Structure 1
Amino acid sequence: MTTESPRLDITYDDLAAAASNLQEAGTPVSLDTLRDVLDGGSATAIARHLRAWRAEHERLPEPAPAELPPALLADLARWAQQHAEHAGLGARALLAQRERDLEDALSEAERLEAERTDLLADIDNASSAREAAQAVADERSEEIERLMAELRNARQVAMDALVGKAKDQLAIEGKDAQLLDLRGQLERNVTASSTQSDARLAAEMELIGAATARDSLALEVKDLQAQLASAKSDRGALRMELETLRAKAK
């Protein structure tokens, strides 16, 4: 919300014309009545011009000469002079009071104008500070958006790696189950062969073949166990990496 600035171009001629109109209308010539007639204006300028106008126009009237005998004229003149002096005390006191009022009004107007200047400067400083704070907030908002995008990408990478390791683990566990089934079948075959005396030779030959297959199977089992150990190690490393990513995400 903006307010209209007071008029600052009041001249002495403007004030003199307004003061004459007030005198003709029988209205006291004062700072307030002049501000009303002049539609506002700077109190400092009005007070300064009013002081000059009063010094020029508001003078105490001189007593009129008396057409009397010299002796009486002298007495009357002294009396008139004393009367004029006593009568003028109130007017001089009023003029002095008006002068003090003008001085006070002028000082107050100058103080208010100084406060207005300081207030405008404070408003400008506050606006600059607000614009700087808004710029910093915008930069931080952009940085937060960038970090959030990086976090989403890191989570997706970690999830893809975890799914791949899980698939590898399932494949290894399936092979372990097949080895256990083959070992069970081999043991059952060996037991059945040992109980058949009439087929000992065939059983021994089968046992030799089974032993060969067992050795080959044992090597395969060792190889699969090594792969399983490597997969478990990779899974542990993946878990540590996932924990690190989660910690960074927090």
Structure 2
Amino acid sequence: MAEHDVTFDAIHETAERLAGEGRQVSIETVREELGGGNLGEIGRALAGWRAGRLEAAPTPDTGIPEPVAAALAGWLQRYAEDSGAPAREALAQSQADIDALLSAHGELENEREQLEIANTQAQAAIADRDETIARLDAELRNAKQVAMDALVSKAKDQLAIEGKDKQIDKLRNELERNVTESASVSDARLAAEMELVGATTARDSLANEVKDLRGQLDALHADRSSLRAEIEILRKRG
């Protein structure tokens, strides 16, 4: 039963039923029987119920029985005690209800304090989380900047490498061209030197042949001179 559905009449009826069954009538037992209800409302309703029971309680017979006339004083004492017992019981139960309300109030206060502690801890956790998020966001921005700087540096290095590769290719081409030209010059020089060697060899051979021819010519001249001399001698003899 929801708390707003509990009425004073329902509380009184439940209390009467519990009392008729000889069970204890208290805020807890009534609330348990009702399946819910506000503790304060149940307590006020039970206080009114107990006051009504006291008012409706039958007045003890004040007639003095003859058999007990001699014990009138003792009987009056017992009467006073008996007539005050319901009031004392109601007072004790009311005090028990008050204690129960105070205990429930203490439990509510304890729950409120626990909720405040949990709220404080949750706020601290949220603050820590926000701080962690801010730190991670800053680290992410720094990482992005570092990555961007690395990419820019790599691009610069790549451009520098490509420029150097172009320079190397240019120098390689020039070197190959120079080697080719040097080889051509060397080949021409070698050919010229070979021709020069051949010409020198031919010249030396021709000089030798000329020398031989001169030797032969000198020998022929000498033979002719000898022949003329012999002819002249023979002519003189004849």
Q: TM-score, normalised by structure 2?
A: 0.55
Tell whether the 8 Å contact from 1:47 to 1:105 is kept in structure 2 after alignment: no
**Which sits farther off after the overlay, 117-126 or 54-63?**
117-126
- CA-atom RMSD in angstroms: 4.4
| CA distance, structure 2, for counterparts of residue 116 and residue 10 of structure 1 | 24
Residue 98 of structure 1: how far off its partner (Å)? 1.9
**1:1-250 equivalence runs, <5 A:** 7=3, 10-58=6-54, 62-66=59-63, 68=65, 75-87=70-82, 93-120=88-115, 144-172=139-167
- Where structure 2 has 5 or more consecutive residues not aligned to the other structure, the ranges are 197-238
| CA distance, structure 2, for counterparts of residue 166 and residue 151 of structure 1 | 22
Residue 84 of structure 1: how far off its partner (Å)? 1.8
Letter of the aligned partner of 2:3 in structure 1? R
Radius of gyration: which is bigger?
2
| CA distance, structure 2, for counterparts of residue 152 and residue 75 of structure 1 | 114
Aligned identity (percent) is 19
- Where structure 1 has 5 or more consecutive residues not aligned to the other structure, the ranges are 200-250
Task: Return closer, same or farther for 1:84/1:9 CA change in 2, 3 Å cut-off.
Answer: same
Letter of the aligned partner of 2:50 in structure 1? R
Q: Secondary structure at the match of 2:109?
A: helix
Residue 17 of structure 1: how far off its partner (Å)? 2.2
Count of residues in Structure 1 that have an aligned counterpart in Structure 2: 187
| CA distance, structure 2, for counterparts of residue 77 and residue 10 of structure 1 | 48
| CA distance, structure 2, for counterparts of residue 7 and residue 124 of structure 1 | 27
| CA distance, structure 1, for counterparts of residue 9 and residue 25 of structure 2 | 15
Greater relative contact order structure (CA < 8 Å, 6+ sep): 1
**Which sits farther off after the overlay, 82-91 or 120-129?**
120-129
1:7-59 CA-partner distances (Å, limit 9, x unpaired): 25644333212222333444332223211222122223222321222122146
| CA distance, structure 1, for counterparts of residue 87 and residue 73 of structure 2 | 20
| CA distance, structure 2, for counterparts of residue 25 and residue 169 of structure 1 | 108
1:178-219 CA-partner distances (Å, limit 9, x unpaired): 67x969x6xx98xx9xxx9xx9xxxxxxxxxxxxxxxxxxxx
| CA distance, structure 2, for counterparts of residue 47 and residue 142 of structure 1 | 58
Q: Secondary structure at the match of 1:19?
A: helix
| CA distance, structure 2, for counterparts of residue 36 and residue 67 of structure 1 | 45
1:97-123 CA-partner distances (Å, limit 9, x unpaired): 323311210111222233344445555
